[in-house]
Structures are given as C-alpha cells and as structure tokens.
Amino acid sequence: MFWLGLPLRQPDFWLRSPIRLVAIIGDIYSLYSSLPEMQTVLAQQFGINHTQFVHIYSIGQLAPGPNMLMVLVIGYQIAGLIGAVVVLLSFFLPSSFLCFYVGRLWNRFGENPWRRSIQNALEPISIGLMASGVYAVGKASVVGGVTAALALITFYLILRTKINPVLVILGSGGLGALLILYLK
C-alpha cells in the first residue's frame, strides 16, 4: 500500500499511533518511553532491525533540538526526503497543538489537588518507561567488555561529576572508537 509515494501499511501510522501519546504525556523525559514500542513497530512494519534503530537514534540525538528528531531519520530511511517531510509534519504538528491546548487547560487547575495526584501518578510511570527506553538502546550498544566499561564510566562521570554531559559523551564516543579500532 502506498500513501504519498510512501510504502506504508498504515498511512496514518504517525498520526494515530499510541506511541505518540505516550511520548507526549508526562514530562520531557517521557519521550524516551516510546523507544521500545517504536522499535517494535518499526521492525514489524518496515523491517528496521535493532542495530539500525540504535544507529538512527544516535543520529537523531546528534542534532540540536527536540529529542525525537530521530523520527525524521526514520522517515528518510523508509521513503527518502518526502518520508522525512511527512513524518515531520505528522509527528510534531498534532502533538504541538495538543500540548499547547492541554498546557493551557492544565495551568487553569493551578494548585488543585487532582492535578497534584495526576502528576504523582505519572512520575513513576514516566521513570519506568524511560528506564525501558534506556535498556532498549543500551542492549544493542553494549556488545562487549570495552563498550560495557565505557558505558559504566560514562554513567559514573555523568552522575558524580560536574563535567558537561556532552563532553563526557563525546569523549567516550571518541575513546570507544579508538579502543575498538586498536583492539580488533
């Protein structure tokens, strides 16, 4: 089945997807909660394997801006430039409108006890979903002793020091590339 020249089984996948709802509920970190489900759907519908997904995720994280810019790379991977444009519009426009109007409504509740109850209920859910996203990406990234050591050192440096996380990640990426190159 084709839609705007895109080989999609569900033309409105990005518009109706429950993944998008999970990605915009809660706080900014809940964007990561959609990664495991997104990976599963992409593997089933478009044949994007785990390694490709991790590479797409990494490329999406390199660009400044929203954390989910990886969807542009996914659209490009599936259908080229038109795929990237369609995914950009269908992923970000509806969620932007939803966040704008729900945010205005949410602010009207101010210090209402129901608001605090809902936020308290969403916090552990967001943390659990975020942890599953970290696990999904880490599962393909940590493939041996060198990458496991780098992951642990990077994790420690980000949590326990005041070094800029961007520098830690860039440094570990460079060091990892050198170690893997010379240890082969």
> How high is the pLDDT of residue 157?
93
Give the model confidence (pLDDT) of 96-121 as tens digits. Answer: 888 899 889 888 888 889 888 988 88
Contact call for residues 32 and 22 (beta carbons, < 8 A)? no
> How high is the pLDDT of residue 23?
54
Neighbours of 184 (CB within 10 A): 5
Give the model confidence (pLDDT) of 37-70 as tens digits. Answer: 788 888 888 888 888 888 888 777 776 666 677 8
Distance of CA 176 to the CA centre of its chain: 22
Which of 9-13, 24-28, 63-67, 175-179 shows the highest mean pLDDT?
Answer: 175-179
pLDDT tops 50 at residue 1:
no
Residue 77 to residue 152: CA distance in whole angstroms: 31
What residues does each domain of the chain span? Answer: 2-141, 142-184
Averaged pLDDT score across all residues of the chain: 78
Packing angle, helices 113-141 and 50-62, rounded to 10: 120
Of residues 129 and 64, more confidently modeled: 129
Token digits for 113? Answer: 């006890």
For residue 40, report the phi and psi dihedrals to the nearest 5 degrees. Answer: -65, -45
Q: For Cα atoms 154, 158, 161, give the angle at the middle one, nearest 5 degrees.
A: 115
Question: What is the Rg, in whole angstroms, of the alpha carbon atoms belonging to the chain?
Answer: 19
Q: Which residues have a Cβ under 8 Å from the Cβ of 10 and sit 6 or more positions away?
A: 16, 45
Residue 2's DSSP bridge partners are 7
> How far lies 145's CA from each of 51, 134, 153, in Å?
18, 19, 12
> How high is the pLDDT of residue 141?
78
